[in-house]
Amino acid sequence: MESFLLLFIALVLALLFFPAGILTTLIRSLIRWKRVSFSAYIAQAARSLALSIDRMGNVVCSDLLELTMTRDTGNYLFGNSVETISLVLGMNKHLGTLTRFGTGLAWLLNLIDPGHVERAAGMPIIPPPDPSQVLIRAFLKQYWKPALAFAIGVLTVHLILYIL
């Protein structure tokens, strides 16, 4: 029973503090503009947040991921809190235990970042870049700033509605 109470408290605190924490990071990075590059600071914060969410997703969704992404036997299991979903996908890709859905997700991650799941799993084999991957990377490189501006706008509206 104590574990469920701790889970409930953690979820409530996350809902209360996460929006304010993200907004504080954005404001603080604007204040630090002259000392530290704004985009470098935001990129590091975004990477850390994405990594934390990825690890949390590996734990929270472990049963769902195992049912949908891997075959029943000989697979590398999801659920370890220090591992990312990409790492587990890479290990299962190496073992040949991914389902079609798991293979599709690994392909999508590798499309955005060539060799992503292999590097996450520590596998040295990185396939040569496909011309379509180069186009997607160029597209993402060109449009990441408008996407970030949109995300900041959505977060600001969310925070205003949350406060009201």
| pLDDT tens digits, 80-128 | 989 999 999 999 999 999 999 999 999 998 988 888 899 999 876 545 5
Do 96 and 163 lie in one domain? The reply is no
Report yes or no on 105 lying in a domain.
Answer: yes
Paired strand residues for 117: none
Mean pLDDT of the chain: 81
For residues 52 and 123, membership in a common domain is answered with yes
Q: Kindly state whether residue 71 falls inside one of the protein's structural domains.
A: yes
Kindly report whether the global pTM for this prediction surpasses the value 0.75: no
Nearest one of 147, 159, 157 to 42, comparing CA atoms: 147
Domain ranges, residue 140 = 129-164
| Residues 72 and 146 placed together within one structural domain of the fold | no
Q: What is the pLDDT of residue 134?
A: 63
Domain total for the chain? 2
% of the chain exceeding 90 in pLDDT: 21
Does 85 share its domain with 149? no
